[in-house]
């Protein structure tokens, strides 16, 4: 299909790691992105990975890219209440960005 | 600091009225985009522009129009507002990496 797919919900206990998964469609995508949306706000770029990379780490965030399976994941270490948000996976395609429907991350106390 | 702003942040209008949502960016980005966000649909692209005088239709362009007379602004016009256009609208601009930077959104209600 042509959609970027990700699960709609994820619940994680505070302090645990969160892993949000995504499958994309275009093997020629140059960039893959993770955006975060907090309630009542716009989308904020969290991180992006160039398609020739397998992994990118930035503090508590780790992005893994499996080009063969067109699979992208975002790992948040030591999940905190401030991480509660909707996370969007996206791929670059024809000078545009195609977004998934977003994964709502819920933090359990 | 460079930024992208949208106005108004909230708007209530009546069916049939013309509505214009403003988007202004100070990054000097060539590419600008309008999306609507609805439950169950995620973000859907309405219109986009790659530069002054350039406009293109996205996947849900019916009932909407844009114009690009300068680099900084891409106003979105609803010619005759319909209840189906009640949504949250986001404007974005992108740099050379295609990374998009989003405005804070406009919540539009059409009664």
State the pLDDT at residue A1. Answer: 47
Of the candidates B31, B41, B97, which has its C-beta nearest A31's C-beta?
A: B97
Model confidence pLDDT, tens digit, residues B48-87: 999 999 999 998 999 999 999 999 999 999 999 999 999 9
What pLDDT score was predicted for residue B42?
Answer: 83
Strands B31-38 and B87-94: antiparallel
Q: What is the pLDDT of residues B18-54, one digit of tens each?
A: 999 999 999 999 999 999 999 877 889 999 999 999 9
Q: A96 in contact with B at a CB cutoff of 8 Å?
A: yes
Please state, in angstroms and as integers, the Cα–Cα distance from residue A42 to each residue in B3, B16, B35, B96, B105, following that order. Answer: 13, 27, 11, 21, 6
Q: Which residue of A has its CA nearest to B42?
A: A101
Query: If residue B56 lies in a helix (H) or strand (E), which one and from where to where?
Result: strand B54-57
Question: By the CB < 8 Å criterion, does A97 face chain B?
Answer: yes
Find the chain B residues whose C-beta atoms sit closer than 8 A to any C-beta of A: 31, 33, 40-43, 45, 48, 50, 90, 92, 94, 97-105
Q: Does A88 touch chain B (CB under 8 A)?
A: yes
What are the contacts of B10-13 at 24+ separation with CB within 8 A?
Answer: B10/B106, B10/B107, B10/B109, B11/B106, B11/B107, B11/B108, B11/B109, B12/B108, B12/B109, B12/B111, B13/B81, B13/B108, B13/B109, B13/B110, B13/B111
Partner-chain contact A42 B104, CB within 8 Å: yes
b/e map A48-61, b = 16+ CB within 10 Å: bbeeeeeebeeeeb
């Amino acid at each position: 299909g042509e959609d970027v797919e990700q699960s709609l919900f994820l619940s994680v206990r505070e302090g645990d790691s969160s892993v949000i998964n995504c499958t994309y469609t275009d093997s020629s995508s140059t960039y893959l992105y993770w955006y975060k949306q907090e309630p009542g706000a716009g989308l904020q770029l969290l991180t992006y990975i160039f398609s020739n990379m397998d992994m990118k780490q930035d503090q508590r965030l780790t992005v893994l890219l499996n080009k063969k399976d067109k699979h992208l994941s975002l790992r948040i270490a030591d999940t905190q209440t401030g991480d509660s948000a909707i996370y969007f996976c996206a791929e670059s395609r024809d000078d545009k960005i195609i977004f998934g429907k977003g994964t709502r991350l819920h933090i359990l106390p | 600091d460079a930024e992208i702003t949208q106005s108004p942040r909230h708007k209530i209008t009546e069916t049939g009225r013309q509505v214009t949502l403003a988007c202004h960016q100070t990054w000097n980005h060539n590419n600008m985009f309008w999306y609507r966000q609805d439950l169950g649909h995620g973000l859907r692209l309405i219109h986009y522009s790659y530069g002054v005088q350039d406009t293109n239709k996205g996947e849900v362009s019916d009932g909407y129009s844009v114009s690009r007379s300068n680099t900084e602004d891409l106003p979105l016009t609803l010619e005759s507002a319909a209840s189906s256009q009640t949504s949250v609208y986001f404007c974005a601009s992108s740099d050379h990496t295609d990374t998009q930077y989003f405005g804070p959104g406009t919540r539009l209600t059409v009664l």
